[in-house]
Structure 1
């Protein structure tokens, strides 16, 4: 035992070499295994939302979720072990961008055990309480750290630069998009993408309907959840065409799973708005170094996204809402919030090459 402990301590002592970066292929595998992990959570979220008879922790849905965790964790650990075999020790063995994900692995496992005990002793949540369970919150935070590993890996990678190609940025986009879906999941009570088109039209057709306030609040929350990640990325990179489309397409999977894809027109509106936002990037060329264009994109993207939301809901839901102030003003509010976010994210222009 003493010999084993001595070996572990020696392994943890940093050997002094500068930490290196993994290849695009390694990051892509990390991202795709994260997709397995993320889709496993979506399947589990669907089960918790739609199968009220759940009575045990040991379900096929949890198996899909935790097998994804095992796969992506094993891959991350393998990258570290390869460097250990090459003679590196301590932090020198951990690829740049992979440390937070590595530390999140045992933390996630601990929260997974806590979740099992929570369900065993207190039962299975199937309503709003699922989003406030302490063990679930621990799982989601550590999962965020694991899924965003490709993003951190690419952030300062020497072969990325400020104007990366779509392929080079793809692992970061995939990981960040799935991380965004986790946030939307735990803000499901304020997710405008879960509303059916007819209900949106109905809610915005009466000032007496409490749904009007709920839809308006959900649009504000979802606008921030969707737009903030884009502004974060645009502060660092000149995003290649297709980036927003990819992120928004992946983002609809979580609300789609939760609603059994019964609100496809609403989900489709976000996917189309991804294409529109990509076109806005092509036109405005926003970046950390172009503050005016960055602010303009933030406002116009919010305005376009929620104008399309109202348009798709109206077409699929039987016509325009009858309270014009609501359906005309809500997208404008979204655009103004986008502008405020843009100012907060980029109060002054920055040198993206040194970000």
Structure 2
């Protein structure tokens, strides 16, 4: 036992070398395995939303979900093991950006066991309570840390610069996009991407039902607006995003609500992909960055306004009529734009010179 304890202490003791970065190809494999992991959750979300009876923890979609966890976890652990074989130990063996994901692996396993016990003894949640289950909240937090590993890896990677190519940034974008889908799943009760075109038009056609209809859709638009725009603003503080970045985030972002609705509201989902393309065009035109505060604020407000203007327009086209209350359909995109502007101000209250931004990046 003493020999085992000494061996464990030897592995945990930091050997003192500076931590290294993995290659972009390694990050790409990490995010591909993360997509397997996230895809399993999307299938599980589809099952909970579309199947009437779920009586057991042991389901095919849980098999996909937990096998994805095993695959991406094994890959992360392998990166550490490779460094240990090279003589590193402790933190020196963990690549930059991979520590939080590594620490989240046993946490996810513990919450997964807790979830199995919860379902075994307390049953399977079938409505909004699924989004508040303590074991599910533990799973989503630790999963978030695992699947966003490529983003943290790229954040301070040498050679990536402030203007990376889309191909270089793709693992980080996909990882952050998957993280945003987890948030959208756990605020499904306020996710405007889950609405159909007819339900959007119907909701904004009356103000009689104060506790439902229009107020419910308006609140959902506000919540979804924050979930959509915050990741983009976060990235723009670090990089001048290449064209296509916002579209990539949008494509990944519609997958979870698409799974939940079995893609029955496809026109609405495609609207958000189109809004991502508009966001890329605005990004190219305005060139927002940490040094260009005015452009950053303008992007935040205009991209949000454009997204929700498209949302109302497409819903109206598909439904064949405009909502009956003009104040609602004309004002909702303006409210979204103002919220986007406020988020821009909160994310970047003061313009930062390039030197200060780079210094802050190195400390991240």
TM bin (shorter chain): over 0.9
Note the 1:185-334 alignment, pairs <5 A: 185-209=185-209, 210-334=212-336
Q: Deviations over 1:143-171 (max 9, x none)?
A: 00001100000111111111111011000
Matched, 1:164 2:164: yes
Q: How far did 1:4 drift?
A: 1.7
Contact 1:249 1:271 in 2 (8 A): yes
Q: Distance in 1 between matches of 2:101 and 2:298?
A: 34
Note the 1:90-169 alignment, pairs <5 A: 90-169=90-169
Q: Distance in 2 between matches of 1:207 and 1:6?
A: 70
Q: Distance in 2 between matches of 1:268 and 1:57?
A: 33
User: Normalising by the residue count of structure 2, what TM-score does the alignment of the two structures yield?
Assistant: 0.97
Q: How far did 1:5 drift?
A: 1.9
Q: Distance in 1 between matches of 2:162 and 2:111?
A: 37
Structure 1 match to 2:173: 173
Q: Distance in 1 between matches of 2:160 and 2:137?
A: 33
Structure 2 match to 1:64: 64
Q: How far did 1:329 drift?
A: 0.2
Structure 2 match to 1:343: 345
Q: How far did 1:22 drift?
A: 0.4
Contact 1:16 1:92 in 2 (8 A): yes
Structure 2 match to 1:26: 26
Q: Distance in 1 between matches of 2:9 and 2:57?
A: 36
Structure 2 residue runs of 5 or longer lacking an equivalent are none
Q: Secondary structure at the match of 1:236?
A: coil
Structure 2 match to 1:353: 358
Q: Deviations over 1:177-215 (max 9, x none)?
A: 000000000000000000010010011011114211110
Structure 2 match to 1:79: 79
Contact 1:148 1:179 in 2 (8 A): yes
Structure 1 residue runs of 5 or longer lacking an equivalent are none
Q: Secondary structure at the match of 2:11?
A: helix
Q: How far did 1:2 drift?
A: 2.4
Q: Distance in 1 between matches of 2:5 and 2:110?
A: 22
Q: Distance in 2 between matches of 1:113 and 1:58?
A: 12
User: Normalising by the residue count of structure 1, what TM-score does the alignment of the two structures yield?
Assistant: 0.99
